[in-house]
Amino acid sequence: MNHDRRGRLGGLDLNLLLTLDALLHERNVTRAAERLGLSQPSVSAALARLRRHFGDELLARVGNHYELTPLACRLAESTSAALTGVERVFTAVHGFDPARSDREFTLITSDYAVTMLGEALSRSLAEQAPGVQLRVEPPNATTIDQVTELLRTVDGVILPQGFVTGLPHTELFHDSWVCVVSADNPAVGDELTIEHLAELPWVSSYYRPANHTPAAQLNLLGIKPRTHIVVGSFFAVAPLVAGTDRIALMQSRLAHRLAETMHLRVLPCPFDAVPLIETMWWHPMYQHDPAHQWLRGTLAAAARLLPPVPA
């Protein structure tokens, strides 16, 4: 530990981090004490120490309840990440035996990637690592903006290339983009044209345009889609297109899987759409973690079992 860090942290009991996390989540000394299994006076004393350290009230009384101060709101964003980092440090082991491990892994990924990888991944976990827990959470509006910080608290984010740069990653599988319209859409014949893209209303998924996406390509072609619906799920795109005059971009594997049951037509894009490369990204601190290496290998093995992209 360098001298500056020793000076800042030397007088602190790192158990205060647990108390701070509980107080920021519960916003109440009594509930924080119950959460920690401690007495209320001991948590009150810890809160007093934290207030002296930060020079801030942290919990401010408003009427008959407490609210977080602006500083406490900022601390809430980093405290969980700090706890996760501490936990990973003190639970690190020299090797990793999946058959005996009870480690929990967390992945941030879309319903599309779960659909593609889920069956093979689930089977591998059941066979190789019955005690391992996997938590799968969907991306949200801040996932891309805060991906580096997010990756301190989760094991990986699975996103197409073009959204994240400068972090360790591995390509999992490729797919192509196609257009989908309702099977009974009278405006579209056997082929989709550039004019259709400009004229028809759109259903768009939650990913905003990046440098390597079809949405960005449409902008370069001078087409600004008339988006009627934005949805935070790839699966939800299909029913929002079915039975309407709307159009959407979908991944070929998913579109062909849903087309028959959702009464959709799958059509080639009338432009040379960039390929989709689903990629797992992780924080550099996990690069040599044996458990994390096992997880990455298991995901890659699941991806290799995918059938070819539909023609």
**CB contact at 8 A, 233 and 205:** yes
Let me know if 165 is exposed, middle or buried by CB neighbors in 10 A (0-12, 13-18, 19+).
exposed
Q: What is the rounded distance in angstroms from the CA atom of residue 92 to the CA atom of residue 90?
A: 6
pLDDT at 5: 47
What is the longest distance spanned by two Cα atoms in the chain?
A: 74
Contacts of 82 (CB under 8 A, 6+ apart): 17
Residue 232: what pLDDT? Answer: 87
At 186-209, the pLDDT tens digits run 999 889 999 999 999 999 886 555
Contact by Cβ (8 Å): 207, 231: no
If DSSP states are collapsed to H, E and C, what string results for 215-228? HHHHHHCCCCCEEE
> What local confidence, expressed as pLDDT, does residue 7 receive?
47
- For 149-172, the pLDDT digits (tens) are 888 889 999 999 888 889 999 999
SS (H, E, C) the chain: CCHHHHHHHCCCCCHHHHHHHHHHHHCCHHHHHHHHCCCHHHHHHHHHHHHHHHCCCCEEEECCEEEECHHHHHHHHHHHHHHHHHHHHHCCCCCCCCCCCCCEEEEECCHHHHHHHHHHHHHHHHHHCCCCEEEEECCCCCCCCCHHHHCCCCCEEEEECCCCCCCCEEEEEEECEEEEEECCCCCCCCCCCHHHHHHCEEEEECCCCCCCCHHHHHHHCCCCCEEEEEECCCCCHHHHHCCCCCEEEEEHHHHHHHHHHHCEEEEECCCCCCCEEEEEECCHHHCCCHHHHHHHHHHHHHHHCCCCCCC
What is residue 236's predicted lDDT score, i.e. its pLDDT?
94
Give the chain's length.
311
Q: What is the pLDDT along the chain (311 residues), one digit of tens a residue?
A: 444 544 455 556 677 888 888 888 888 888 988 888 889 898 899 889 889 888 889 888 888 888 888 888 888 877 876 776 666 666 655 578 999 999 999 999 999 999 999 999 999 999 999 999 999 999 887 777 788 888 888 999 999 988 888 999 999 999 999 999 999 999 998 899 999 999 999 998 865 555 456 777 787 778 888 899 999 899 999 999 999 999 999 999 999 999 999 999 999 999 988 889 999 999 998 898 999 999 999 999 999 999 999 97
